Structure 1
Amino acid sequence: MTTCGEFLVKQLEARGVDTVFGIPGVHTVELYRGLPGSRIRHVTPRHEQGAGFMADGYARVSGKPGVCFIITGPGMTNILTAMAQAYADSIPMLVISSVNERERLGLGNGYLHELPDQRRLTSGVSAFSHTLMSVEALPAVLARAFAVFASERPRPVHIELPLDIITAPADHLRLAHRPELRRPAPNRSLLREAATLLKNAKRPLLLLGGGCVEASAEARALAQALDAPTALTINAKGLLPPGHPLLLGSNQSLPPVRALARDADVVLAIGTELGETDYDVVFDGGFEIGGALIRIDIDAQQLLRNHLPHLAILGDARLAMRMLLADLPAGELSPNSPGAQRAATARAQLAESFEGWTNYRRLFDTILQALPQARFVGDSTQTVYSGNHLVELDGPRRWFNSSTGYGTLGYGLPAAIGARLAEPQRPVVCLIGDGGLQFSLPELASAVEARVGIVVLLWNNQGYGEIKRYMERRDITPIGVDIHTPDFLAIARGFGCAAERARDHAHLAELLRNAPADRPLLIEVQEAPPFA
């Protein structure tokens, strides 16, 4: 007999799933029955939140949904934070959980792992949550989930299987034909109207977000055609390469870029929420758009949030760029063009504001000289905050972290593991602080077990340094921020990792070049000379 749990595995494999993150429990073991006969790799985190963060990092790199098998009750409450981070950053994630038998749902009799309503818990952090009430409904519900990933704003989906459904016979089910779904094309007449506005603009500005990561070539061509200074959200880093004459970096919260936004006569924003964590990290409400705003987004509701547009165009970012380019002159990329000159002036002003950040610039220069192809996966920590402004890379999906959107701690390490599993050939550097690492420290064991070679660059300031400074600036006596700092090197070695404290930049470069490929290397960098 083929059970529903076994048939689920076959369907996932047929849809290209090659990795599942999860911790087996008595309520999910029947989901695992079909895994040994499949080509799907199972990775065991040490906490369900870690499973979600690993799936998130995997999805950001691969572009495919990260898949998790999660137990009833505590497994679901544990993964909610990871789902919320993925929801905020529009990351595809498929969370498949168990739930109590159908006849026991909602009774409140105290069954193992019982919750009143798991779907209600997940509804705020998922595109949809569904309880499978019959075996026959499984193909259609999975098709619905993958339709979200393929054709809508990608976000987590939760499907829960009652225990009596997981073990029910599914011999009568067959893998069904899957029609190919694509994201919707934008309205051509609205795009032509946008093209007319842009062709007549004297001071255009281009704002690109994470919704554009699949359109790197189109983004570069569009910036050139418009001769528009271009700002990238943190999740869009790499759409324009370092040294591009129109690049403003991810500095929309700083005065030089804000001045361009106020002065622009037409602003084109594509695939970006225009949200606080990219446009107002100083939390003063100071980002303003002075001219006509054109917004293009896959999410109709998002088109009308934060900043109301003159033109709102619903559709896929890549298709919209291609259609716009057909109505625009090709343009020439020149450091002497009006747009490049405006961008150069803003970059010079930004450089002045970064003069006190030479220590961080030197740190990233050292890393990129040793590992020029590195991908950076970050937590919420000082190296991430500075790198968001300073670091530019030559392609998308090479820089992401949890300082955007939901802004959780503990994300960096498990997400870096997922990122390396998605693309094993590229080095991964996890940027994390001593406070954040203590949220997910046991995931070092997961990486050792899975033979994942990542570099964990630990910025150690012996506490929650950023929050402490924030309290002091507000004249609040610091409490709860000077936390005990363990011996991270000893702990990492105990987990089976390599671990060293970098003495200086030359030693750091040597450690990076010799990082093992089959286990993590934790490098502790003290927030003190020569790194401070």
Structure 2
Amino acid sequence: MRRMTGGAAIVEALAANGVDTVFGLPGAQMYPLFDALKQREAAIRTVGARHEQACGYMAFGYARSTGRPGVYAVVPGPGVLNTTAALCTAYGTGSPVLCLTGQVPTAFLGKGRGHLHELPDQLGTLRSLVKWAERIERVEDAPAVIDEAFRRMLSGRPGPVAVEMAWDVMAGAAEVAPLPASRPDRRPVPCGEAVARAARLLAAAERPMILVGSGAQHAGAAVLALAEALDAPVGAFRGGRGVVDEDHPLGVSSYAARLLWDDTDALVGIGSRLEMPYMRWAGMMRLIDRPETPPLVRLDIDPVEFERLVPEVGILADSEDGARALLAAVRAFPRRDRPDRRAAIAAAKARARSAVEAVQPQVAYLDAIRAVLPRDGFLVPELSQLGFATYFGWPVHEPRTYVSEGYQGTLGFGFPTALGVKVAHPGRAVVSVTGDGGFLFGVQELATAAQERIGLVTVVVNNASYGNVLRDQQTGFGNRIIGSVLENPDFLLLAKAFGVAGAAVSTPDGLAAELRLAFDRPGPTLIEVRVPQGTEASPWPFIHPPARPA
């Protein structure tokens, strides 16, 4: 038993659960917690930010790139509301993020007196956005509530959680008994009958395909072994990129997967919502919740997924456990002779690569980055013309090295998320690829990068527009342009003002050369890529391809 404040009790529980970094922005209700973080700075690094949304997205980047919980702390009310986009992104991508926030004094809870940062129902608001949210009512309850937060974050489908503590409780003190670190719930055992049914279906297939999502990021070896047993290509849209190396004969890009789709006679979805075949390829306005052809096998740890998209066979399991169980069952059947399968996959990969060459200059710039970024380096795209092209034009070689936005599609997420990725991986190269519009959503975090010496390389493509909006207005709305053309600052002077190294280029070779220099710098770098407005080819024919690509 130790006497400590509520803030210190939270920090001690974080340390017990292995937390080494907290992203945060201090304020009145959170002073005791930040004071406790200062006293524990030898064990837990606190990374400050200039806007609360960046705290949330840095924690998201940390979690997404490591698989471990990312933690952030902000004031209640407007502070926590500023982070809700990041919580939604974490929820959508199955990323474990812990939000820590304060509350009005206990006596004012639910009184509506307009105390500082008061919300009508902050806990209710948070519960609508995350897996679980709770208030710590007493100082001595902090270890149990924080441990429960970690259990909830990491059990089943990972996701964000939130914990609040009233101002007076966080500042108060009590005798606190530490608890051992939380442990996730035991993973479900794959149902033998379901596995056997799926194996029979797959053993009879001639042209099966595997599509993976965020839930398979830790299961690469098992997924690849299953793919090799089936001679099945493995594709992904965003979250599953890198589960199987796209250099492997069975690792395919999203567009190569589309070229193979029409001849596919069995689909295995592993840890994925299967957005590509049933929304992107079928039409975003058409709801498919019971696909018929080809037969669908789904392997997922979330039982609700089998109601959202009903498979022919559903296997409730962790992706690694389920893939290994399915592999063993498939191997019990005589291996099916598929002599032309690998050749067909290779042809689709070559055809896809040739086709996407039309998306210029984006693909040329991506090729330049890929040529100099180490295979274990990280790319964090943005909702931008270059970012959209990464969906099909950026080969991913290792799990978790492609950190995307998921279905929330939050413009401006990329730069602060990449800062969190770099904090988590200081010894590995991290590149943020963003547009001029999205970058300015969080430009103030250049100050964070400089102050915290975060060696992130940020590539800002300056086309003086929200490029996608501008194209849509030109082509779909009679060239009636509104709100999509931008007058930008001088990005090199901006970088200099923040104390960040800067460079400007206008060719892919120039970008490659500047990246090599940037990777050798200890601090942050901003590289502006100047692209004439309206000159980028549309990436959408490769994201929403026609029914059967020509």
- Shorter-chain TM-score tier: over 0.9
TM (norm. structure 2) is: 0.90
CA contact (8 A) 1:151 1:184 kept: no
For residues 362 and 415 of structure 1, what CA distance do their matches in structure 2 show? Answer: 24
Aligned with residue 290 of structure 1, among 293, 312, 329:
293
Q: Shift of the alpha carbon at 1:3?
A: 1.1
Cα gap change, 1:526/1:219 in structure 2, threshold over 3 Å: closer, same or farther? Answer: same
Q: Shift of the alpha carbon at 1:149?
A: 2.6
CA contact (8 A) 1:234 1:388 kept: yes
CA contact (8 A) 1:65 1:93 kept: yes
**What SS is found at the alignment partner of 2:407?**
coil
Aligned with residue 388 of structure 2, among 380, 385, 390:
385
For residues 192 and 297 of structure 1, what CA distance do their matches in structure 2 show? Answer: 16
Q: Equivalent residue for 2:498?
A: 495
Q: Shift of the alpha carbon at 1:415?
A: 0.6
Q: Shift of the alpha carbon at 1:337?
A: 3.8
Cα gap change, 1:134/1:257 in structure 2, threshold over 3 Å: closer, same or farther? Answer: farther
Aligned with residue 471 of structure 1, among 470, 473, 476:
473
**Which has the higher mean CA deviation after the structures are superposed, 443-452 or 145-154?**
145-154
Matched, 1:190 2:191: no
Q: Shift of the alpha carbon at 1:150?
A: 2.4
**Which has the higher mean CA deviation after the structures are superposed, 351-360 or 482-491?**
351-360
Matches within 5 A, 1:319-330: 319-329=321-331
Cα gap change, 1:357/1:54 in structure 2, threshold over 3 Å: closer, same or farther? Answer: same
Q: Shift of the alpha carbon at 1:143?
A: 2.2
Q: Equivalent residue for 1:268?
A: 268
Q: Shift of the alpha carbon at 1:33?
A: 2.2
- Which residue type is aligned with residue 507 of structure 1? G
Matches within 5 A, 1:30-429: 30-38=32-40, 39-176=43-180, 178-179=182-183, 181-251=185-255, 256-260=259-263, 264-275=264-275, 279-280=279-280, 283=284, 285=286, 290-305=293-308, 307-329=309-331, 337-373=339-375, 374-402=377-405, 404-429=406-431
For residues 204 and 338 of structure 1, what CA distance do their matches in structure 2 show? Answer: 13
Cα gap change, 1:87/1:102 in structure 2, threshold over 3 Å: closer, same or farther? Answer: same
For residues 286 and 8 of structure 1, what CA distance do their matches in structure 2 show? Answer: 44
For residues 140 and 276 of structure 2, what CA distance do their matches in structure 1 show? Answer: 44
Cα RMSD for the two superposed structures: 2.5
Q: Shift of the alpha carbon at 1:433?
A: 0.2
For residues 521 and 426 of structure 2, what CA distance do their matches in structure 1 show? Answer: 9
Q: Shift of the alpha carbon at 1:505?
A: 2.9
For residues 313 and 336 of structure 1, what CA distance do their matches in structure 2 show? Answer: 26
CA contact (8 A) 1:226 1:331 kept: no
Cα gap change, 1:331/1:249 in structure 2, threshold over 3 Å: closer, same or farther? Answer: farther
Q: Identity, % of aligned pairs?
A: 34
* Matched residue count: 525
CA contact (8 A) 2:130 2:162 kept: yes
**What SS is found at the alignment partner of 2:447?**
helix
For residues 287 and 126 of structure 2, what CA distance do their matches in structure 1 show? Answer: 34
Cα gap change, 1:464/1:289 in structure 2, threshold over 3 Å: closer, same or farther? Answer: farther
Q: Shift of the alpha carbon at 1:323?
A: 1.4
Unaligned runs of 5+ in 1: none
For residues 372 and 220 of structure 2, what CA distance do their matches in structure 1 show? Answer: 25
CA contact (8 A) 1:132 1:161 kept: yes
Cα gap change, 1:294/1:366 in structure 2, threshold over 3 Å: closer, same or farther? Answer: same
For residues 444 and 297 of structure 1, what CA distance do their matches in structure 2 show? Answer: 39
Q: Shift of the alpha carbon at 1:513?
A: 1.0
Cα gap change, 1:275/1:201 in structure 2, threshold over 3 Å: closer, same or farther? Answer: same
CA contact (8 A) 2:252 2:349 kept: yes
For residues 360 and 76 of structure 2, what CA distance do their matches in structure 1 show? Answer: 49
For residues 128 and 173 of structure 1, what CA distance do their matches in structure 2 show? Answer: 24
- Which residue type is aligned with residue 272 of structure 2? T
- Which residue type is aligned with residue 84 of structure 1? C
Q: Shift of the alpha carbon at 1:240?
A: 1.8
**Post-superposition CA distance 1:369-415 (Å, at most 9, x none):** 2222321012111111111101112211111222x310001111111
Cα gap change, 1:276/1:227 in structure 2, threshold over 3 Å: closer, same or farther? Answer: closer
